[in-house]
């Protein structure tokens, strides 16, 4: 059947479907291309304006045109439209509007789906000033094994919808038996319920699933029970799922009901969202996921300004993942009020039967459950003395430091005493001189005559007075928290597992703020940029002595500031110069001996044959008291038999060959 053009039904009434009733069986199809207006239509049965029923495979109702319901009413289900979809049947609606419609259940629209049925809205739909007395001021949805899809191309708006007695000011949905509801681009403004779920009330069981997928918004919704924006109750024993991928909940409120028939536990919890879980939920299943929840300026009279959770394993749920990621949404550990997210570790059924005293004693902020307080054992910073305003490298040791979340606070503990300053200067000078001596030895070891270029070798001087940090000495001047919140700085590198020993490294490009010569610094860490801890994970605000004193490591290059020639090279040049001087001295000495030897030979040849003494006694030929020849002989003997000449320098020697060998080679 095809409907074309525009049809207006005014003040129609009937037992089922005041203005229009249609039922479709297997293999049948109804297409409405035009626009149908239902104005002031009423029914004593289902569907004040229209009743649509589709059952069986290939049974399809496709409204490609537009439906408009004005001031339609029924005393039962579906003030504007009632739709029953069963056994794989399909109903799809493009555009629909419901204005000031009312019913006992489902003020504007009532949907019943079962056995793989399918309903979709893919155009623009609005529910304005619709109301009910029991469930679902705008829409009531019962899904028993089917699927409801508010398509990504759709836009659905609820404005000023109300439930005067029970639950679900904007929408009431019950999802079971593998049923599924997917919500996109839905906005609920100023909706109200007398009890739970000012915006949406959702009951999920028997492996049902509710997904708030994209661009959902709850604004100024109000309940006089629990869950100003959303109330969701989940049966975790049957693998049910509730996920928020993208939903903004703001300025919603949950008020403590003035109705004397309501007990204390039944009202005033969860201004934005109330989540109640029956059974023993296992967080590892990830069936409950609030990653996409965004909360602002919500309020609740009793607890959980934006979120209240009732769950037996609430601690495990909060600790699953990283720092409460499955529960916190956009909650900031640094800036948000701890009362924004509150919960209690009991079953939902037990919660409803508990006294106010028990609830007050057992409920607590959820941040307490996922919070990880870091433990800092030691902290060092490496400073290059040749460039004190340059890069600083910090080395931290501890545990429970969360990668991607770790923050470090560095602050001045106190001024150094003059005694400490003098002592450290002496240590620096001593180490500096010691380094020079090591450089001299290293230079002489690595070179004999030929000088080899030696690269700079860094020396570290530890300055640590080992003074205890006394209480009340922290003045927190010149406080620095790293990394800054601009997101432009180098991340903190962390090695090791959270619960084991860890090492963290921080590189700061600007070290001009560190006045290590005159100040003593303390350091603490935080995984939330809110609570900073130090030794043994103790909060610095609780005990000032928890801060770890920052140890300064001076990094000194083997070159003088302002001079490009390394000390090792200078030392090598000096040693080489001394060696050359020694060579010249040896050459001169050898030359003198050679000269004397030649003169001695000439004297002997001066005596001719005629002057030679013959037949004289030996003692007359060579008198015993004559020392001239002896002196020459001894000199030559000393040259001939002398050991290798050496010039000692420390442990090393510059060696030369003997004089005779030298003469022979020359």
pLDDT at 507 over 80: yes
Query: Residue 512, CB half-sphere, CA atoms under 13 Å: how many?
Result: 1
pLDDT of residue 595: 72
438-461 burial by CB neighbour count: b if 16+ within 10 A, else e?
ebbebbbeebeeebeebeeeebeb
Backbone angles phi, psi at 106, to 5 degrees: 75, 75
Q: How many domains does the chain have?
A: 3
Please check whether residue 636 lies inside any domain of the structure: no
pLDDT of 448 > 60? The answer is: no
Residues whose CB falls within 8 Å of the CB of residue 438, separated by 6 or more in sequence, listed in order = none
Instruction: Mark whether 403 and 502 lie in a shared domain.
Output: yes
Q: Helical H runs in 302-353? A: 314-319, 348-353
- pLDDT tens-place string over residues 262-288: 555 579 999 999 999 999 999 999 999
pLDDT more than 90, % of the chain: 61
One domain for residues 343 and 402: no
> Is the Cβ–Cβ distance between 235 and 281 less than 8 Å?
no
526 lies in some domain: yes
pLDDT of the residue at 421:
77
Tokens matching residue 184: 């996109």
Q: Is residue 416 pLDDT above 90, yes or no?
A: no
The answer on pLDDT for 350 being more than 60 is yes
Residue 651 lies in a domain: no
- Domain assignment of residue 105, yes or no: yes
241 CB-side CA count, 13 A: 20
Residue 53 maps to a domain? yes
Lowest mean pLDDT among 110-114, 186-190, 661-665: 661-665
Verify that 494 and 448 share a domain, yes or no. yes
CA–CA dist 536, 538 (Å, integer): 6
Q: Where does a domain end: 514, 540, 556? A: 556
What is the arithmetic mean of pLDDT over 47-73?
95
Task: Return the pLDDT at 89.
Answer: 97
Which of helix, strand or coil describes residue 209?
A: strand
86 & 54 share domain: yes
Describe the strand order of the beta sheet including 519-526 as a list of residue ranges: 477-482, 407-415, 519-526, 548-549
Q: What is the mean pLDDT of the chain?
A: 82
71 belongs to a structural domain: yes
191 and 318 inside one domain: yes
Mean per-residue pLDDT, 325-330:
97
**Cα separation, 443 vs 373, whole angstroms:** 51
- pLDDT score of 567 more than 80: no
502 in a structural domain: yes
Given a cut of 50, whether residue 419 has pLDDT beyond it is: yes
Same domain for 315 and 391, yes or no, is no
Any domain includes 588: no
Whether 398 and 454 map to the same domain: the answer is yes
Same domain, 345 and 263: yes
Range scoring the smallest mean pLDDT among 5-19, 140-154, 275-289: 5-19
pLDDT band at 464 (very low <50, low <70, confident <90, very high): very low
355, 371, 387 - which closes a domain:
371
Same domain, 321 and 409: no
pLDDT at 213 over 50: yes
Least confident of 3-17, 153-167, 530-544, 577-591: 577-591
Range of 433-442, 467-476, 626-635, 642-651 with top mean pLDDT:
433-442
493 in the same domain as 356 = no
- Domain boundary (345, 371, 397) is at 371
Can you give the residue range of the structural domain that contains 386?
Answer: 375-556
| Cα separation, 661 vs 666, whole angstroms | 8
Residues 463 and 328 in one domain: no
d(CA 209, CA 176): 8
Q: For residues 92 and 108, state if they share a domain.
A: yes
What are the residues whose beta carbons fall under 8 Å from the beta carbon of 363, sequence distance 6 or more? 303, 342, 343, 344
Q: Is the pLDDT of residue 665 over 60?
A: no
Examine the pLDDT at 560 and tell me if it is beyond 90.
no
pLDDT tens column, 224-264: 999 999 999 999 999 999 999 999 999 999 998 766 555 55
Instruction: Categorize the per-residue pLDDT at 122 as very low, low, confident or very high, splitting at 50, 70 and 90.
Output: very high
């Amino acid at each position: 059947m095809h409907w074309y053009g525009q049809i207006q039904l005014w003040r129609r009434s009937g037992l089922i479907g005041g203005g229009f009733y249609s039922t479709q069986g297997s293999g049948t199809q109804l297409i409405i291309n035009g626009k149908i207006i239902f104005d002031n239509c009423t029914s004593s049965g289902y569907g004040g304006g229209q009743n649509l029923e589709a059952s069986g495979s290939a049974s399809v109702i496709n409204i490609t045109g537009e439906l408009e319901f004005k001031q339609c009413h029924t005393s039962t289900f579906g003030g504007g439209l009632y739709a029953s979809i069963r056994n794989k049947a399909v109903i799809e609606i493009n555009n629909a509007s419901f204005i000031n419609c009312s019913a006992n259940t489902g003020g504007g629209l009532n949907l019943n789906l079962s056995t793989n049925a399918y309903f979709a809205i893919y155009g623009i739909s609005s529910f304005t000033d619709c109301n009910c007395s029991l469930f679902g001021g705008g829409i009531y949805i019962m899904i028993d094994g089917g699927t409801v899809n508010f398509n990504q191309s759709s836009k659905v708006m609820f404005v000023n919808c109300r439930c005067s007695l029970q639950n679900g000011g904007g929408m009431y949905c019950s999802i079971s038996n593998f049923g599924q509801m997917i919500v996109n681009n839905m906005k609920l403004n100023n909706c109200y319920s007398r009890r739970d779920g000012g915006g949406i009330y959702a009951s999920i069981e028997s492996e049902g699933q509710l997904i708030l997928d994209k661009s959902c918004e709850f604004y100024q919704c109000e309940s006089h029970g629990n869950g100003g924006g959303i109330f969701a109750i989940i049966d975790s024993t049957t693998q049910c799922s509730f996920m928020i991928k993208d939903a903004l909940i703001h300025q919603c409120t949950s008020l403590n009901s003035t109705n004397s028939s309501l007990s204390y536990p039944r009202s005033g919890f969860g201004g934005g969202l109330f989540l109640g879980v029956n059974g023993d939920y296992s967080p590892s299943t990830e069936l409950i996921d609030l990653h996409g929840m965004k909360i602002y300026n919500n309020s609740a009279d009793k607890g959980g300004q934006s979120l209240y959770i009732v769950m037996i394993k609430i601690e495990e749920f909060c600790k699953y993942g990283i720092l409460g990621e499955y529960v916190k949404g956009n909650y900031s550990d640094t800036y948000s009020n701890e009362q924004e997210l509150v919960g209690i570790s009991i079953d939902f059924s037990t919660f409803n039967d508990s006294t106010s005293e028990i609830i007050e004693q057992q409920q607590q902020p959820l941040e307490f459950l996922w919070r990880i307080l870091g433990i800092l054992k030691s902290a060092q910073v490496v400073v290059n003395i040749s460039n004190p305003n340059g890069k600083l490298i910090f080395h931290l040791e501890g545990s429970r430091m969360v990668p991607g979340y770790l923050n470090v606070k560095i602050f001045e503990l106190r001024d150094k005493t003059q005694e400490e300053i003098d002592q450290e200067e002496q240590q620096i000078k001593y180490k500096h001189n010691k380094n020079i001596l090591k450089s001299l030895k290293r230079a002489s070891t690595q070179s004999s005559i030929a000088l080899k270029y030696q690269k700079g070798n860094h020396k570290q001087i530890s300055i640590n007075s080992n003074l205890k940090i006394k209480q009340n000495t922290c003045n927190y001047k010149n406080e620095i928290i790293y990394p800054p919140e601009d997101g432009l700085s180098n991340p903190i590198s962390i090695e090791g597992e959270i619960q084991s020993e860890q090492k963290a490294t921080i590189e700061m490009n600007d070290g001009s703020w560190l006045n290590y010569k005159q100040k003593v610094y303390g350091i603490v860490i935080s995984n939330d940029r809110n609570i900073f801890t130090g030794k043994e994970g103790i909060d610095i605000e609780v005990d000032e002595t928890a801060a770890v004193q920052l140890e300064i490591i001076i990094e000194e290059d083997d070159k003088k500031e302002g001079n490009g020639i390394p000390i090792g090279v200078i030392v090598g040049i000096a040693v080489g110069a001394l060696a050359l001087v020694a060579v010249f001295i040896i050459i001169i000495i050898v030359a003198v001996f050679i000269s004397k030897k030649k003169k001695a030979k000439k004297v002997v040849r001066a005596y001719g044959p005629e002057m030679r003494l013959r037949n004289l006694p030996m003692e007359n030929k060579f008198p015993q008291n004559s020392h001239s020849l002896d002196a020459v002989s001894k000199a030559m003997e000393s040259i001939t038999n002398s050991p290798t000449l050496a010039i000692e320098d420390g442990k090393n020697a510059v060696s030369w060959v003997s004089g005779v060998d030298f003469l022979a080679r020359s």
